[in-house]
Structure 1
Amino acid sequence: MIRPRIPRGRRGLLSAGGALAAVAAVAAVLVGTLGGDGRPAAQHGPGNADGLPRTRVRMSAGECGQGWTQGHSGSQVFDVYNASNGPAEVDLLDPGSGAVYGEVEGLAPGTSRPLQVTLGGGSYAFKCLPDDSDAFTGPTVRISGHAAAGPAAVPVNQHDLIPPTLAYQQWIGDRMGELADRVGALRDAVDGGDLDSARTAWLPAHLVYERMGAAYGTFGDADKAINGTTAGLAQGTSDPRFTGFHRIEYGLWHGQSADRLRGPADQLAKDVDQLRAGWPQARMDPAQLGLRAHEILENTVQFELTGRTDYGSGSNLATARANLDGTRAVLGYLRPLLTGSRFPQLPRLDGALDRAQHTLDGFDTGGHWTPLGSLSRPQREKANADIGAAVEQLASVAAVCDVRRTS
């Protein structure tokens, strides 16, 4: 399950290669402010460190893309200058389809930022979206020829995301019964004093919960009660606020008696029952679904592949595998929005997930998972590389599914 962390912009997760999704193509280069007076200038050719031709364009009140009148194909940079008195977003798009080739977010007044894109034959225009004002689109610039353009994506809106979110929420609800049954078996083993059976029951119960990764934000405080760690707890594993799966894990693998574990096991069962009872009234935020698809494995890298959530069971790799299942589940509901021109890198993402799954499955021997600390260095490096590659691809899903303002 995803652990809380400092929020960051969805689009800020992206890097600039064409291997990533459409609007991701330029996000990572939006980091600098030009020196000098920042005034828009006419188009000029190569001569910069990157060797790319550059065009300075301007936005102001009622004007967008001023300074760009003649287009040419190929990789190039637009230095976008905000001459208005407020911040704005500026997109370069196909005015017919609305497909976005690049974007500058949060462009402050009086500043410029570079926007790198690859343009082919077609029609293009800048669209300016000032804060607290209506959007407006500048003049269309046509590029002749048949050169291929870089990636572009038609923005996803809130209504697009509602059906997959409702379907995913139903999928989570369908898992609640299994979760309650597995936790009940764990509680019964602890109540009966059979700690060997409890250790056997612990992992299957925990993995059911870990597969629900995209719903963590909707679980609210229940997530910390059910799957919290000792992070931020002054007394560590002795802190009374340390509850749930990891509290029981610590006790089972550190010699605590059944008497000490009955209370935590009973509380876990109650917390799961309460979560299950309240789930039909819960409402997931559709705008968050694409971000969650990325964050599940991002947090796997941060917490599971570092062993930070191991309280004795040595099951981090099993949890990573369950997180991968959870990623595939949410991705399955988003797939209709991603198939085709909106996200042509989908087959590449599927390949990355397959490689990560194959690697993780190699650490499972008949239900007995290799502890993270027992991996050889090459095994550890391969696991990190394969899951990291999948995380990089999933960042593009977060970007494509980011609900963008269009008016």
Structure 2
Amino acid sequence: MTRRPLHRFGAIAGVLALTGFSLAACAEDPAAGGDGALTVQASDSECEVSATELESGPQTFTITNAGNKVTEFYVYAEGDRIMGEVENVGPGLSRELVVDLPQGTYEGACKPGMVGDGIRQKLTVSGEAATPLSDSAELKAAADSYARYVKSQSDALIVKTTEFVDAVKAGDVDEAKELFPVARTYWERIEPVAEKFGDLDPITDGREPDAIAEGVDFTGWHRIEKQLWVEGNTEGMDTYADQLLDNVNEIVALGQDAPLTALELAQGSKGLLDEVATGKITGEENEFAHTDLWDFKANIEGSQAAIASLRPVLSDQDPELVEELDTQFAALDTELNQYQDQSTGDWVFYDKLTDEQVKKLSDAVAALSEPISKVAAAVAQSA
């Protein structure tokens, strides 16, 4: 997921050197079992996981941040493919991550300051899960349903990104500005797919402060956005535009080859909400164009699509959770939709919102975040 500092609702301190990962390997500890819970004690310089030798199947990591920086926790497969992640774990807070891990070798990583490669440790998963989540007919149906949604959005994403790139390369600033939030709508609806594939997400959707912090070239959507809105031209953007389209095409192809599992889309529905909480609410996602509400709505729609695919499973496991999700999604939609022109579909530019209006949107996101955080656990219990 794209890294974003939080200024409007609380700054993240400067990044310290990421050293000192300490894990206690404990193969016989109950926490290492597929039905147990693993604890992750995170700080600004350490990350202690309660076991490194695990049994295959669903694993629950409870991450507690004892540091002064906002942190994240990732589980990576080979090639930095993201098996699961939890973001925005503030100082003194705890968050839970449920990941379905087949037999193999992985890495756990804490990221104080939400930047860099993280403090990493090898995790070894052995054995065969007694009841693999992927064998559940209901969960297969949920994943297939979401895959169809992703396919429809991916097709539109390629079309609109191509139109955007063509406008940039033609030097048509007005057309490129008009297409920018439209193309990004399809991107934001399916971003959990992009987040599976290592560096492809940040080089496509990373922000300038993140690129500077990591010492890499500023590329992707937001590099072109800056040129369009700050410089008012497209000079020097051909290479960035071609790279953007190449990356989008690669992400779409990889997503079709490795579609999200039901548990991944449960985590993805929460991840999309985190995108709102850490980027859109701060106004720093599209800091030059101020088209954040287009992205905001797209993230919510993507999260709703994931929950809709999982609805049969959730209805069996926890009908009260489904009712609460419906209520909070409706409340957030009501709060957000007042800022859209129903005749044109355009949204109010983010810098035109008052602090009070932003606060109300933030409260609505927080109210939805709590039930969304329970979805992955319900999915894991359904097998």
**TM-score interval w.r.t. the shorter chain?**
0.5 to 0.7
Based on CA coordinates, which of the two structures has the bigger radius of gyration? 1
Residue type of the partner of 1:350?
A: D
Q: Which residue of 2 aligns with 1:234?
A: 212
1:266 is aligned to 2:242:
yes
Which amino acid in 2 is paired with 1:195?
V
Task: Give the conservation status (yes or no) of the 8 Å contact 2:212–2:218.
Answer: no
Q: Report the secondary structure of 2:135's partner residue.
A: helix
| TM-aligned CA distance change 1:281 to 1:257, over 3 Å | same
Match of residue 3 from structure 1: 2
Unaligned runs of 5+ in 2: 5-26, 40-52, 57-130
* 1:304 has 2:280 as partner: yes
Structure 1 residue runs without a partner (length 5+):
6-84, 92-102, 108-129, 134-154
Deviations along 1:173-195, one digit per CA (max 9) or x if unpaired, are 23222111101111121222210
Aligned with residue 30 of structure 2, among 75, 83, 88? 88
SS of the aligned residue for 1:339 comes to helix
Distance 2:376 2:184 in 1: 26
Aligned partner of 1:275 in structure 2 is 251
In terms of mean alpha carbon deviation, does 325-334 or 390-399 score higher?
Answer: 390-399
Partner SS, residue 227 of structure 2: helix
SS at match of 1:190: helix
Note if 1:255 corresponds to 2:254.
no
3-state SS of 1:169 partner: helix
Candidates 165, 176, 179, aligned match of 2:157:
179
Alignment of 1:7-406 (within 5 A): 86-88=28-30, 105-106=37-38, 157-160=133-136, 161-234=139-212, 241-365=217-341, 366-402=344-380
Give the aligned residue type for 1:325. E
Instruction: Call closer, same or farther: CA 1:132–1:351 in 2, change over 3 Å.
Output: closer
Give the secondary-structure state (helix, strand or coil) at the position aligned to 2:230: coil
Local SS of the residue matching 1:209 = helix
1:385 counterpart letter in structure 2: D
C-alpha distance 88-250 of structure 1, shift in aligned 2 (>3 A): same
Could you say what the CA RMSD is over the residues aligned between the two structures, in angstroms? 3.3
Higher relative contact order (CA 8 A, sep 6+): 1
Report how far residue 303 of structure 1 moved.
Answer: 1.4
Structure 1 pair 186–344 and aligned structure 2 pair: CA distance change class (3 A): same
* TM-score, L = length of structure 1: 0.59
Specify the code of the residue in structure 2 equivalent to 1:248. Answer: I
CA distance in structure 2 between the partners assigned to 1:280 and 1:295 by the alignment: 20
Shifted more, 211-220 versus 331-340: the winner is: 211-220
Distance 1:184 1:342 in 2: 42
**Letter of the structure 2 residue corresponding to residue 360 of structure 1:** L
- Residue type matched to 1:177 in 2? D
Opposite residue 186 of structure 2, the aligned amino acid is: V
Which residue type is aligned with residue 235 of structure 2? D
Distance in 2 separating the partners of 1:215 and 1:369: 25
**Aligned-partner Cα distance in 1 for 2:200–2:336:** 29
Q: Deviations over 1:247-287 (max 9, x none)?
A: 11111111153232222122212222233344432243443
Q: Is the 8 A contact 1:213 1:296 kept in 2?
A: yes
Residue deviations 1:278-332 (CA, integer Å, cap 9, x gap): 4432243443222222121022111110122223111112211110000011111
User: What count of residue pairs does the alignment treat as equivalent?
Assistant: 270
Q: What amino acid does structure 1 have at the position aligned with 2:29?
A: P
Q: In percent, how many aligned pairs have the same letter? A: 23
Task: Quickly say closer, same or farther: Cα 1:281–1:340, change in 2 above 3 A.
Answer: closer
Instruction: Work out the CA distance in 2 between the residues paired with 1:184 and 1:132.
Output: 45
CA displacement at 1:341 relative to structure 2: 4.8
Please report how far the alpha carbon of residue 217 of structure 1 lies from its aligned counterpart in structure 2 after TM superposition.
3.2
Label 1:233 to 1:217 Cα distance change in 2 as closer, same or farther (>3 A).
closer
